[in-house]
Structure 1
């Protein structure tokens, strides 16, 4: 019977030891063995369910996978650690396991962000091939004009290329501010803020309210909740659908 093999760098990333790009460094600085044999190549294939895998003599076991949906407040950074000692998003969930944020929200952006130790899901949601839709709510000064609206819907030219067309609609307009929702199908760094700057749209507040099938709903800022297994599967499915849509395949 054929056994399921996996690259050691992918396995280490999936169980939260380090990122795949840092496995080569880990293999130089620490001793990783598989069935007693030292491993030095990140591409070495293993059978996770069968092999005895140890890091500095400590047996590595797949951790229980956990998934938290967090409503990130302002002033919190979306990294695991910070050299300046600023509060990070992992401080908002229980510290039972080493977790990583899936993607990032900048310090001043609030809203939905995922924390997990599931490397496979993280890859699904952050790899360029699998971009799932993300919905943001913007509070802007004044009202958006027709040219600005068309720019968002047709793509905005940034220094690193033109953005993909996005969906935008006006939720409400008041005398001095407007509330707008925008759906992105890609994930450039600080994309919405840069798009607003490019079309001279004064952005006051920015919140992510939806990621694929997940919504922030009534979760208060700074709070978290666990995802159900059904939600995890729906999230993975939405990533696969997004990849086939990007490749022009009907599903």
Structure 2
């Protein structure tokens, strides 16, 4: 379909498929919106390297199947053919046959809100060609639709927007992978919420913790909140307790706050507090809003204090508290409100 720049400006239609019909004298305003084919125009395509197409081919589809749809009668199809001939076709979804809506919602956001996958996961599903809108496969980012007026399918299964939002806090034990399913059969977050998923809840984890890191992991089906919590521009702080080898001097705090250079760029922490030293080990509290892979472990390795145990205790205003490992609790209304406030919703 179409691609888009980061600000949401739609880009040119994808290659292949039917050629775009001529506008036939539309006004400039009409031309700038979308062609009859439903593909948005203008802008620059998003770089394909930003989305992992191969991951999208194997990503778990959490879409909940809709109720069977009524098959269309022959008389309906004949009526549509006649309407097309008169130039007055209105599709079964109530649109003018063009799924692109410049004022609509990004397709990946629609999928995330439906609990199909995280925003990033939805982009991978699109790139892999597993998503269709009104029967047309979309393979590029930037498509905008009105989810109330189109039919969106993943792997041929229609997805529905879930109006009931779920917000959970999980204390992830060590040894569990941050994924809803693991093709190698390793323990994963999906195992801990299996009963909820089987009962019909569509939830996904917000960000990741590496397998050996314990602690707070949020789960939700609120795609917009999840996206903002994970995006570095919103600078949501995350706090960790790190047990490391060696005696960490208190004077190290200023150096770390000034910034430590790693192979993928400088990392700066919001807080670095040595809490305890005993028998050649130290306990350190670290707060930062970075989301890079294994960032705390790599930071401490670069300082010469390898991590032996790592627990995430806070994500923004939500604290792990005394939750036991493997347990799940529903976030309170105050916590949800504080999360929304933290990301400007």
TM-score by length of 1: 0.82
User: Partner residue of 2:108?
Assistant: 9
Q: Check conservation: 1:135, 1:182, Cα contact below 8 A.
A: yes
Q: Hey, what's the Cα distance between the residues in 2 that align with 1:165 and 1:138?
A: 14
Pairing 1:225-236 to 2, within 5 Å after superposition: 225-236=329-340
Name structure 1 gaps, 5 residues minimum. 242-251
CA distance in structure 2 between the aligned counterparts of 1:9 and 1:149, rounded to whole angstroms: 41
SS of 1:68's partner is strand
How many aligned residue pairs are there? 234
Deviations 1:158-191 (A, max 9, x none): 0001102431112223343322211112222101
Secondary structure at the residue paired with 2:344? Answer: helix
Change (3 A) 1:61 1:229: farther
CA distance in 2, matches of 1:79, 1:88: 6
Q: Specify the SS of the correspondent of 1:240.
A: coil
Which structure exhibits the higher relative contact order, with contacts defined as CA atoms closer than 8 Å and separated by 6 or more residues?
A: 1
2:161 alignment counterpart: 62
The answer for unaligned runs of 5 or more in structure 2 is 1-101
Give matches, 1:1-251, under 5 Å.
5-18=104-117, 19-25=121-127, 28-29=129-130, 31-33=132-134, 38=136, 40=138, 42-48=141-147, 50-55=148-153, 59-63=158-162, 64-93=164-193, 94-95=196-197, 96-146=200-250, 148-240=252-344
Classify the secondary structure of the residue corresponding to 1:209: strand
> What is the rounded CA distance, in whole Å, between the counterparts of 1:207 and 1:183 in structure 2?
12
Change (3 A) 1:220 1:29: closer
Question: Which has the higher Rg, Structure 1 or Structure 2?
Answer: 2
Q: Under a length normalisation based on structure 2, what TM-score does the superposition of the two structures give?
A: 0.61
CA pair 171-43 structure 1, distance change in 2 beyond 3 A: same
CA gap of 1:172–1:149, structure 2 versus 1, over 3 A, is same
**Runs of 4+ off more than 4 Å:** 56-59
Q: Does structure 2 retain, via aligned residues, the 8 Å contact 1:158–1:198?
A: yes
Cα drift, residue 239 of structure 1: 2.5
Match of 2:16 in 1: none
TM-fit CA distance, 1:42: 5.0
Conserved? CA contact 1:5–1:47, under 8 Å: yes
- Comparing both structures, which one devotes a greater share of its residues to strand? 1
Q: What is the CA RMSD across the aligned residues, in angstroms?
A: 2.5
Aligned partners of 2:241, 2:206: CA distance in 1, in Å? 19
Contact 2:123 2:141 in 1 (8 A): no
